[in-house]
Amino acid sequence: MAAWLRISNRNRAYWFTLILCILFLIGLLGHFGQSTSGVLFTPPFSESFSGTVEASRRPPEPPTYEKLRKWEDELPQHDLSLPFPEGKTGRYVKFDNQIKQLGWNNVLNEVLMNAHLAYVSGRSYVFLDYYWKPDYYSWPESQFRSNPPRTPLNALISGPAAGGAFEAGDDAPRAISEHWFDIVCPYEQRRFINTREVKPAVWNSPGIDVLNHWAKVLREAPENCIEIQGDYDHDMFAQVFDLWIWGSSRVLSLWDEFTSSPVSRLFGTSPIVKSAVDANEYLFFPRGPRLPVSSKLGPKDPFDRMMAVHIRRGDFEEACQRLAYYNSTFYSDSPEYKDLYAKRCFPDQQGILEKIREARRAYLAEGHNEKRVLDVMYLLTNAKGEWLKEMLRYLKSDGWHTIVTSKDLELNAEQTDVNGAVDMEIARKAAVFIGNRLVFIYE
């Protein structure tokens, strides 16, 4: 969320959840399809590898995560002798219908909400690996360690949703890995609940009603081991919290419930992501001319003087066109509307520069007596070639002396694997953030 766009506390929940809706919707528009395993669309491998990291910056081999997987296997809750509500008599729920092979932001939304549903149901959440869409993976098919590629959840996040501890005094069962679920809940001991048995009763209901309805089903079920399966024969989006919730105002009713949940409050990034940010922090220290003694030196923390701008190019132009088409069924199908949408979703260089200048002026003006300085620019971007070079020239001419892009980060194999989460963490820490997938909803 752009820090310079101040919103009232009354509207903060509305705008935040609307952002989540837009993020989820954009990601899904490019991946319509059906599957029996929660995969919306699995494209055939193309001969030309696109990836997210250029070969010159990519470590020679993808990570094995041997130590991290061993750490996950040895989580203290992975113990059959533990007393109820854990151990062999514990209560568990696995969401086999959880989305796979989609962008990380889309998957993260569902992970957190499913984990909260498990929490209010008195069951242990079964966390899964992140399954990559092959086109998004940083290494070519010939180097895949599995097909599709997979990343341990604890490489991306930390907290109760990934098996982390709850607060003192909270006896809720901790999340377990999918591997441990196979041990504590053998296949023959599981009850399988298909979404067609539950979703129709709350098909168009507010999100909070969907949550409460599912929680009642899971609480009242006598079986210890439950696995949720999707009705992909009749429901293209067969998740518990599906596109039709995330992409509509129905999600707004979940705000108060989720933000007070320990799944939300104790959520954090992973040590791998933190290590990447820490290792590259030196890149963000100001490199401009020395300021005179009488001027405002500003904060010492480089993130407190940083603007982060998300500039996604390439495949995103087509995604924006699909989003405009989707919304045109509600508003307008005119060329003028599509042009306006393009300016918000896939702006050109001048549009981006105008927004940056406006945000900088507004942020500094709001500082009043604070020693605000904004002289560090971080670009979260997959742009390349002349387009990026020209953009950097424009920014330098506007007085940005310290400019760093995603391509400037030095990352090892594990950090490269989660480079999107690294970008997100840097943007979260920045004083100002502008995203080309979000900014249009404020206009």
The pLDDT confidence band at residue 347, using thresholds 50, 70 and 90, is: confident
What DSSP line would sit under 115-164, residue for residue? HHHHHHTT-EEEE-PEEPPGGGSSS-GGG-SSSS-EE-GGGTEESGGGT-
Q: For the chain, which domains are there?
A: 31-269 (no CATH), 271-442 (3.40.50)
Predicted pLDDT of residue 438: 38
Helix (H) or strand (E) holding 29, with range, is helix 9-29
Predicted pLDDT of residue 346: 72
For residue range 254-308, what is the model confidence (pLDDT) as tens digits?
999 999 999 999 999 999 999 999 999 999 998 876 655 445 667 889 999 999 9
For residue range 21-57, what is the model confidence (pLDDT) as tens digits?
444 444 444 443 333 344 433 333 333 444 567 777 8
405 near 381, Cβ under 8 Å?
A: yes
Predicted pLDDT of residue 323: 62
For residue range 176-189, what is the model confidence (pLDDT) as tens digits?
999 999 999 999 99
Q: What percent of the chain has pLDDT over 70?
A: 77
Tell me what the mean pLDDT of segment 200-211 comes to. Answer: 96
The pLDDT confidence band at residue 348, using thresholds 50, 70 and 90, is: confident
Average pLDDT, the chain: 83
For residue range 362-412, what is the model confidence (pLDDT) as tens digits?
999 987 777 889 999 999 988 888 999 999 999 999 999 999 999 999 999
Q: What percent of the chain has pLDDT over 90?
A: 65
Predicted pLDDT of residue 325: 60
Single-letter amino acid, residue 236: M
pLDDT at 316 over 70: no
* Helix, strand, or coil (residue 54): coil
The pLDDT confidence band at residue 339, using thresholds 50, 70 and 90, is: low
* C-alpha dist (Å) from residue 16 to 4, 12, 22, 255, 320: 15, 6, 10, 9, 20
pLDDT at 219 over 70: yes
Residue 308, CA atoms < 13 Å, CB-side half-sphere: 23
For residue range 102-144, what is the model confidence (pLDDT) as tens digits?
888 889 999 999 999 999 999 999 999 999 999 889 999 999 9
99 near 113, Cβ under 8 Å?
A: no
Tell me what the mean pLDDT of segment 187-201 comes to. Answer: 97
Q: How far is CA 302 from the centre of its chain?
A: 24
Residue 177, CA atoms < 13 Å, CB-side half-sphere: 20
pLDDT at 69 over 90: yes
Predicted pLDDT of residue 119: 98
pLDDT at 197 over 50: yes
Predicted pLDDT of residue 426: 97
Predicted pLDDT of residue 371: 81
**Distance of alpha carbon 210 from alpha carbon 140, whole angstroms:** 40
The pLDDT confidence band at residue 331, using thresholds 50, 70 and 90, is: very low
Predicted pLDDT of residue 19: 45
Predicted pLDDT of residue 340: 64
> Tokens 């219908």 appear where?
97
The pLDDT confidence band at residue 335, using thresholds 50, 70 and 90, is: low
37 near 100, Cβ under 8 Å?
A: yes
**Distance of alpha carbon 405 from alpha carbon 393, whole angstroms:** 13
Alpha helices in 154-198 (DSSP H): 178-184
